[in-house]
Amino acid sequence: MSSLPPPNRAQYLRAGSLTPSWKFALIATQMLILASLLMLGVSASTVGKPTWWLASTDNNLLAVLIVVPFLAPTVVIFVAARASHLAPVAGLFATALLAATSVVDISRTPGIALGEAILAGCTALTTIAVFAGRRRAVNSAP
């Protein structure tokens, strides 16, 4: 007979998934990044220098491109809520997509591109921080 106590509920959870507090922090951060992207888009339209993804609204066929920068944080939120063990991979995808968006906007709107690059950096830092909030595998062997 083993002298170990029975495993608790947390030990049954998948190793690598996020703890509830880290999941909340990741989702809240990505929602703030979504709001910031929305503010950048409104600012670009107000100034009269739309980004490449806002300029595509002139052509109805390319109007779907308006969702491209918002796709990155949305995917991270969805993955964190459904399969949090994949959150770091989703964060890397979001960082790459936001960085690519900012690179494309450098020639058209450098100020907005800087804001997008800062948000890509925030996404990268959040992705790095999420590694601290992952559950570890429980080794019950002595």
The reported pLDDT for the residue numbered 40 is: 92
Q: Which residue has the higher pLDDT, 65 or 43?
A: 43
Once rounded to an integer, what is the mean pLDDT over residues 74-102? 91
Q: Which residue has the higher pLDDT, 132 or 41?
A: 41
Contacts for 50-59: CB closer than 8 Å, 24+ residues apart:
50/108, 50/109, 51/101, 51/105, 51/108, 51/109, 51/112, 51/113, 51/116, 52/101, 52/104, 52/105, 52/108, 53/101, 55/108
The reported pLDDT for the residue numbered 31 is: 96
Note the pLDDT tens digit of each residue in 3-53: 656 555 544 466 678 888 888 999 999 999 999 999 998 998 888 888 888
State the average pLDDT for the chain.
83
Q: Which residue has the higher pLDDT, 103 or 85?
A: 103
Say whether pLDDT at 99 is over 90: yes
Check: CB of residue 97 under 8 Å from CB of residue 62.
no
In 3D, which of 128, 98, 125 has the Cα closest to residue 114?
98
Say whether pLDDT at 141 is over 60: no
| CA-to-CA separations, 50 to 56, 58, 112, 132, 133, in angstroms, rounded | 9, 11, 9, 38, 38
| Domains of the chain, CATH where assigned | 15-133 (1.20.120)
- Helix 87-105 to helix 68-82 angle, to the nearest 10 degrees? 170
Percent of the chain with pLDDT over 70: 77
* Cα separation of the two ends of the chain: 14
Check: CB of residue 14 under 8 Å from CB of residue 85.
yes
The reported pLDDT for the residue numbered 62 is: 62
Confidence at 78, pLDDT banded by 50, 70, 90: very high
CA angle centred on 72, ends 67 and 75, rounded to 5°: 105
